[in-house]
Chains A and B, each alone.
Chain A
Amino acid sequence: MNINPEFRRNLWLELTPSRLVGMPLVLGIFFFLAYTMDDKQYGASVASTALILFGLLAFLWGIRLASETLISEIRDHTWDSQRMSVIGPWSMTWGKLLGSTIYPWYGALICLLVYLTSQPSLGLSLLETTVLLVGSGLLGQAVGLLSSLQAIRKNQRYGRFQTTIFLVLGAGCSLSLLNWPFEKASEIFWFDQSYSDEQFVLASLVVFLAWAVFGIYRLLRAELQLKSQPWAWSLFVVFLMVYVAGFLNDGGMIYGQSIQQLRLLGAFTVSIILAYAMIFCESKDPVAFRRLMQYLGRREWARAMESFPLWLMTLSFVILTCLFLVGMSFSSPSLEEASQLSIPVIAMVLFLIRDLGIVLFLNFGRIPKRADMLTLLYLFLLYGAIPTTLTALALDSLAGCFWPVPGIPAEVILPSALIQVVFILWLVASRWRRNLQISS
């Protein structure tokens, strides 16, 4: 039988006889201490010790190992040979996700067993508790691996400090879901339907875990030189827009909007956040843009779609939801009411395009390595320092030129945003032309 080579390699590395013996011994010492300190009772004290140890093993150690598995391959120069292997992206996905974390899971599953057998009252059913704990651990590890993989595709050099960011990201995702059923005891309304907390969180956990694993699979496909169209990302954007919109059940929260407008506004906000996230997560290599332009020029649509930047794809969702919102706002009884929502929404799209332009302009420069950090500085100036200063000087309407807040007259905010967009796009085009001249 052919075992997944990547999984087998990890088994060889992680599950050595001494480690297999060492883990239960160390855990046993902790459980024995808890047992003796709780008047030799196999109960709550042992259960909380087991839960804490589970968290340390699955959420801290496991996520760190998952985040580092590819980074260490690149650091140790073994990734090229993996890329030239015949291991498929799906085998590589589970081989890396489960293989790199097999040893922490070995310990975590012992802890889970002790927790389930020692906890006097679980609150959830045995199966629900197991799915929740194991699922959230896997989700954190998958998010850690996914974010490190995305970061690697942008820039191949990452040290231990940066991997801590992936650890925090993974742990944040899983713990936020894990915390939910323990903290709240009410029902959740999603698209006006009532669900119990446990049901909803477990379903969300499974769905987000599936998305995270699918994300790893898609990125590994690209790393392993398999061609992919960007439909998976588009599906995820739509899913998240719908998922978030489902929580908005109270119409009239903002400017008396209808429930549909409110949900669309929620979806619009999600698409804007994802567009910002992707522009910073993706590589803005000008050579890749030139390749894309060549494909478009030669009308090789399939290839063009394969190299299409995901932030640009997300921008299309932003514009689409913006158009829907503006269209819906005109169903309002008065123009004034319609403009209350549509003007800030249009302004937000224009400001987003301006910001994307700033990112591109700086990334097409001579030192693209620091471009993203520099962009953040510019955005801080544009959204923070300048409007605050203008507001402090009682120049509120001027501040609206940089900050799409409601209440600013359309004749101020829209021309200002448009001028900024045109200016930054002109700068991007100039730098692009200069780069072409240098290359030729």
Chain B
Amino acid sequence: MIEVKDLVFEYPGKRALNGVSFRVEPGNITALVGPNGAGKTTLLRCMAALEVPLHGEVHIDGENINEDPRACHRKLGYLSDFFGLYDELSVRQCLLHAAASRGILANEQARVVEQAASRLGIADRFEIKAGALSRGLRQRLAIAQAVVHEPQILMLDEPASGLDPEARHSLAELFLTLRDQGMTLVVSSHILSELDEYSTDMLVLREGHILSHDLIEQPSAKTVNLQLLLTEPCCGLQTLLSGLPGVSAVNGDDSSAIISFSGDVADQHHLLKSLLEHGLPVCSFAEQQRNMQSAYLESVRHEEQWGGVQ
């Protein structure tokens, strides 16, 4: 769906993207993560054909964006990190303008506007001026404008910044709905917790390089990480744990350990029971989630340790 090949972008005196290459498959929600200044916004702007790279290619659904940016724009929706709205226009007028400027025929405009507004939950605010909306509703209106022409791909730059937790959660649900309706999404953020809820894969960008592009692990019924804490140290803890059924790997010391364990919740119960039977002073025994945060930090640590980039 999206293919980026050896993309190089420079600002005067600074290389913002350095040989970036990756693919995004249809139906994915790709999280583009990295620290401030990593090049996320520049990458999204190049992918949206708003900036011309020094070198490299971006293909959207097989079309080279440098050759025919306007053709690619028809397939894209883009929401910039500092998006703007026509504050003096009503929600309906904003959406009608977006629809008309995206080439929707006059007799179709009312229908697509209704559809986009319903999708984003702002249909009851049609006559309110955009300038009078709350931050969360402005965000929804901006996304409605970006998807009014039913693009195949939606790119969003820091969409949740400035939103309260409730609005963030509903935004995550919205992204999943859009994905289920056939859209491919690329969402950039430096707040990793918000991406956990909906991302299928994570693209880590740092100093203009791709550090990693991994699928986000889905919760597995078979293998989990269990975190064990003891009230006091116990010699030979790791040896003891390694010998127990279902345990495949152990990391830690005499007071705590992370256990890679294969089994369901009943098997976890049996494991805890056997730990207690061995006389271990267990203080805490819980499943550890591997989230975006840990995956990201793992990528960064790996890069720092090996100093390589992909």
Contacts and interface: CB of A to CB of B under 8 A. Distances in A.
Contact of A84 (B73, B100, B105): B73
Interface string A1-42: 111011011001100000000000000000000000000000
B211 to A, nearest CB: 21
B70 A226 contact: yes
A76 B94 CA distance: 14
Contacts of B73: 84-86
Describe A's contact surface by its main secondary structure.
helix
A286 B12 contact: yes
A82 interface: yes
Interface string B10-26: 11110100000000000
Contacts, number: 86
Contacts of A86: 70, 73-74, 101-103
B interface bracket (residues with beta carbon within 8 Å of A): 35 or more
Interface string A278-298: 000000011100110010000
A87 B101 contact: yes
Given A5-B101, A78-B86, A287 B10 contact: yes
Interface in A77-106: 77-78, 80-87
A12 B102 contact: no
A430 interface: no
Interface in A420-440: 435, 438-439
Contact of A2 (B15, B70, B100, B146): B100
Nearest to B48: A84
Nearest to A87: B101
Interface in B77-120: 78, 80, 82-89, 93, 97-98, 100-103, 105-106
B265 interface: no
Given A86-B103, A225-B69, A291-B52, A439 B89 contact: no
Interface string B166-188: 00000000000000000000000
Nearest to B70: A225
A70 interface: no
Contact of B54 (A3, A77, A290): A290
B244 interface: no
Contact of A77 (B84, B89, B103, B106): B84
Contacts of A76: 84, 86-87
B145 A225 contact: no
A438 B14 CA distance: 8
A291 B54 contact: yes
A5 B105 CA distance: 11
B54 A8 contact: no
B97 A9 contact: yes
A374 interface: no
Contact of A85 (B13, B55, B85, B102): B102
Given A81-B98, A294-B55, A435-B13, A1 B106 contact: yes
A6 B86 contact: no
Given A12-B89, A86-B74, A287-B54, A5 B100 contact: yes
A13 B89 contact: yes
A291 B36 CA distance: 27
Interface in A175-206: none
A1 B100 CA distance: 11
A349 interface: no
Contact of A8 (B82, B97, B146): B97
B89 A225 contact: no
A160 interface: no
Given A76-B84, A286-B12, A287-B11, A84 B50 contact: yes
B147 interface: no
Given A5-B97, A8-B97, A84-B76, A439 B49 contact: no
A246 interface: no
Nearest to B76: A84
Contacts of B55: 294
A299 interface: no
Contacts of A405: none
B54 A12 contact: no
A435 B100 CA distance: 44
Contact of B89 (A9, A87, A285): A9
Contact of B80 (A8, A77, A224): A77
B118 to A, nearest CB: 21
Contact of A78 (B10, B78, B85, B93): B85
B70 A224 contact: yes
Contacts of B101: 5-6, 81-82, 85-87
Nearest to B105: A2
7 contacts: A12-B89, A77-B82, A84-B49, A84-B50, A86-B103, A291-B54, A366-B13
Interface of B: 10-13, 15, 48-50, 52, 54-55, 69-70, 73-74, 76, 78, 80, 82-89, 93, 97-98, 100-103, 105-106, 145-146
Given A84-B78, A224-B70, 9 more contacts: A9-B97, A76-B87, A77-B83, A81-B84, A84-B76, A85-B103, A87-B101, A294-B54, A435-B13
Question: 3 closest Cβ contacts across the A-B interface?
Answer: A77-B84, A5-B100, A85-B101
